């Protein structure tokens, strides 16, 4: 992409409505525009990152054997009456009437709809286990929408639902989700810590939230500092192996880590004092096992193979896809702007032409652009007729992890400059070497 032809409405002034850095930078970098309270349009740069995050979520869901579907955003109130949640859900639910006076709602979550799909089509234990998921817009009429996409009213969420014959199988599905979530967040450059949580209106006993540590997080968290040393890394896990998934759950949840909702001071005090940490965190996902709560209420039964019919055991599992943009920025920025992890960056590298219109500089930039593109990478070429300072300022704000700077002086010596956004370190090297370096960095990522 050439910047002169892109739509990147970078703001010069600091937006006053933004209270936290991720909201401010998303507005300043031209990623989102508020449409109304807690509802945003996604501008090209923001939309690109949203898609990157969504793709990682899809890939990791598929790797875990989960199957993508798409359910509607508008649902009938009748289904929610069957589960008893239509009245229970309260004011967060946006209720709508169609022209025939029928009561509808904008989906805040989709346990009822997916259970309705299941009961219509699945009748035998032979079709289990089954996990269906979607990535879809949700609406919750939050009392206080704030912090940009962090607490929106309309937000993009991955919601997945497992159906299993037995409690034991459903708990395996729970563990499998925990493993796949660890992989998912790490690919985005994030450490998200599973913490024992409270189940809220979804219901159920077993539940963990995934929290990204950040001072601006809305949850207070208490944990054993050893937990931040745990890395999932590139382990290969067989998702059908119950013991292997359970071992990962044990490893990542055996140390104390709880949110304020479930915090137990007496238990926490058993952690050696030097390892006790109190901090704030951003909830980027949650997993639940809730047994037969919905299958009982809605009659989702299967033949158990022994002549009887039994309600299926279920759980639901969410990832806050749009909130993740805010969480990643909170975890990765400096005073000049965003610093995208390679896994989610909107463009793989920036190319800054220090002397637009200089035949040699223009040709060198174009050659870099073509070579990177041919390798399947997406560079953003700042070909505007602007001062170097302005171009660097834009690149720093939008946070591409790598920048290649091209100017007539360097070209005389056969070199360009490769700069890391994260460390600020620069290195002069021939254009071909810069390309090879960028290609190596993104090997296995892009």
Residues that bind ligand ATP (CB under 6 A): 109, 140, 142, 151-152, 155, 157, 200, 283-286, 318, 320, 322-323
Nearest distance in Å: CB 198, Mg ion: 9
Q: Which does 431 bind (CB under 5 to 8 A by kind): Mg ion, ligand ATP, none?
A: none
Q: ∠ CA(377), CA(380), CA(381), 5° rounding? A: 120
Q: Which does 175 bind (CB under 5 to 8 A by kind): Mg ion, ligand ATP, none?
A: none
Q: Which does 399 bind (CB under 5 to 8 A by kind): ligand ATP, Mg ion, none?
A: none
Q: Which does 302 bind (CB under 5 to 8 A by kind): ligand ATP, Mg ion, none?
A: none
Nearest distance in Å: CB 285, ligand ATP: 5
The structure tokens listed for 223 are 């944990």
State which residue, 91 or 370, has the beta carbon closest to Mg ion: 91
State which residue, 318 or 401, has the beta carbon closest to ligand ATP: 318
Instruction: Select the residue whose beta carbon is closest to ligand ATP and give its number.
Output: 320
State which residue, 227 or 282, has the beta carbon closest to Mg ion: 282
* CA atoms of 285 and 131, how far apart (whole Å): 17
Query: Would you mind telling me the total number of residues written for the chain in this entry?
Result: 446
Nearest distance in Å: CB 41, ligand ATP: 16
State which residue, 86 or 181, has the beta carbon closest to ligand ATP: 181
The structure tokens listed for 190 are 């994030």
State which residue, 136 or 356, has the beta carbon closest to ligand ATP: 136
State which residue, 94 or 301, has the beta carbon closest to ligand ATP: 94
Q: State the virtual CA torsion across 85, 76, 319, 446 in degrees, nearest 10.
A: 170
Q: Quick one: how far is CA 400 from the chain centroid?
A: 18
State which residue, 90 or 389, has the beta carbon closest to Mg ion: 90
Q: List the one residue out of 90, 75, 62, 251 whose CA is nearest residue 175.
A: 251
Q: Would you list the DSSP string of 147-211?
A: TGGGB-SEEEEEEEEEEESSHHHHHHHHHHHHHHHHHHHHHTT--EEEEE---GGG--SEEEEEE
State which residue, 165 or 211, has the beta carbon closest to ligand ATP: 211
Instruction: Select the residue whose beta carbon is closest to Mg ion and give its number.
Output: 286
Nearest distance in Å: CB 209, Mg ion: 6
Residues sharing a CB contact under 8 Å with residue 168, sequence separation 6 or more, in sequence order? none
Nearest distance in Å: CB 140, ligand ATP: 5
Residues sharing a CB contact under 8 Å with residue 36, sequence separation 6 or more, in sequence order? none
State which residue, 198 or 264, has the beta carbon closest to Mg ion: 198
Can you name the residues that pair with 33 across neighbouring β-strands?
Answer: 41
Q: Which does 281 bind (CB under 5 to 8 A by kind): ligand ATP, Mg ion, none?
A: none
- The H or E element that residue 350 is part of is strand 349-353
Q: Which does 85 bind (CB under 5 to 8 A by kind): Mg ion, ligand ATP, none?
A: none
Indicate the pairing of strand 219-224 with strand 257-259.
Answer: antiparallel
Which residue shows structure tokens 């991955």?
Answer: 158
Nearest distance in Å: CB 112, Mg ion: 18
Q: Which does 323 bind (CB under 5 to 8 A by kind): Mg ion, ligand ATP, none?
A: ligand ATP
The structure tokens listed for 409 are 């002086």
Residues sharing a CB contact under 8 Å with residue 60, sequence separation 6 or more, in sequence order? 180, 181, 183, 184, 187
Which residues, numbered 229-288, are part of the site for Mg ion (CB under 5 A)?
286
Nearest distance in Å: CB 286, Mg ion: 4
Nearest distance in Å: CB 85, ligand ATP: 13
Nearest distance in Å: CB 427, ligand ATP: 38
Indicate the pairing of strand 379-382 with strand 349-353.
Answer: parallel
Q: Which does 140 bind (CB under 5 to 8 A by kind): Mg ion, ligand ATP, none?
A: ligand ATP
State which residue, 207 or 345, has the beta carbon closest to ligand ATP: 207
Which residues, numbered 286-325, are part of the site for Mg ion (CB under 5 A)?
286
Q: ∠ CA(256), CA(257), CA(259), 5° rounding? A: 135
Q: List the one residue out of 293, 236, 286, 297 whose CA is nearest residue 259.
A: 286
The structure tokens listed for 192 are 């998200």
The structure tokens listed for 51 are 């898609």
Nearest distance in Å: CB 13, ligand ATP: 26
Q: Which residues bind Mg ion (CB under 5 A)?
A: 286
């Amino acid at each position: 992409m050439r910047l002169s032809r892109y739509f990147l409405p970078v703001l010069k002034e600091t937006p006053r409505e933004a209270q936290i850095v991720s909201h401010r930078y998303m507005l300043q970098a031209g990623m989102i525009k508020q449409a109304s309270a807690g509802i945003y349009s996604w501008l090209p740069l923001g939309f690109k990152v949203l898609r990157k995050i969504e793709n990682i979520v899809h890939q990791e869901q598929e790797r875990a054997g989960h199957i993508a579907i798409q359910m509607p955003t508008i649902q009938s109130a009748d289904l929610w009456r069957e589960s008893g949640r239509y009245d229970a859900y309260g004011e967060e639910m946006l209720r709508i009437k169609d022209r025939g006076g029928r009561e509808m709602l904008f989906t805040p979550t989709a346990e009822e709809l997916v259970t309705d799909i299941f009961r219509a089509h699945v009748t035998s234990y032979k079709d289990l286990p089954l996990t269906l998921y979607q990535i879809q817009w949700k609406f919750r009429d939050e009392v206080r929408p704030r912090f940009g996409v962090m607490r929106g009213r309309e937000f993009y969420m991955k919601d997945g639902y497992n159906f299993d014959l037995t409690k034991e199988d459903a708990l395996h599905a729970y563990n499998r989700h925990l493993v796949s979530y660890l992989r998912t967040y790490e690919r985005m450059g994030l450490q998200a810590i599973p913490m024992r949580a409270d189940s809220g209106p979804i219901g159920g006993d077993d539940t963990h939230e995934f929290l990204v540590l950040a001072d601006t997080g809305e949850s207070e968290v208490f944990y054993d500092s050893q937990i931040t040393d745990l890395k999932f890394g590139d382990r290969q896990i067989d998702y059908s192996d119950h013991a292997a998934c359970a071992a990962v759950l044990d490893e990542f949840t055996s140390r104390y880590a709880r949110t304020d909702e479930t915090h137990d001071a007496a238990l926490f005090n058993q952690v050696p004092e030097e390892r006790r940490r109190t901090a704030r965190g951003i909830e980027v996902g949650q997993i639940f096992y809730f047994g037969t709560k919905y299958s009982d209420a809605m009659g989702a039964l299967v033949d158990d193979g022994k002549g009887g019919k039994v309600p299926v055991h279920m759980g639901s599992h969410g990832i806050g896809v749009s909130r993740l943009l805010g969480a990643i920025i909170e975890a990765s920025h400096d005073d000049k702007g965003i610093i995208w992890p390679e896994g989610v960056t909107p463009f793989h590298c920036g190319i800054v032409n220090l002397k637009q219109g200089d035949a040699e500089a223009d040709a060198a930039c174009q050659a870099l652009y073509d070579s990177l593109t041919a390798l399947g990478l997406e560079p953003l070429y700042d070909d505007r007729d602007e001062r170097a300072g302005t171009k660097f300022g834009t690149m720093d704000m939008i946070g591409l992890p790598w920048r290649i700077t091209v100017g007539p002086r360097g070209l005389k010596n056969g070199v360009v400059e490769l700069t890391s956004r994260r460390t600020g370190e620069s290195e002069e090297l021939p254009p071909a070497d810069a390309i090879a370096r960028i290609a190596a960095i993104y090997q296995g990522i892009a």
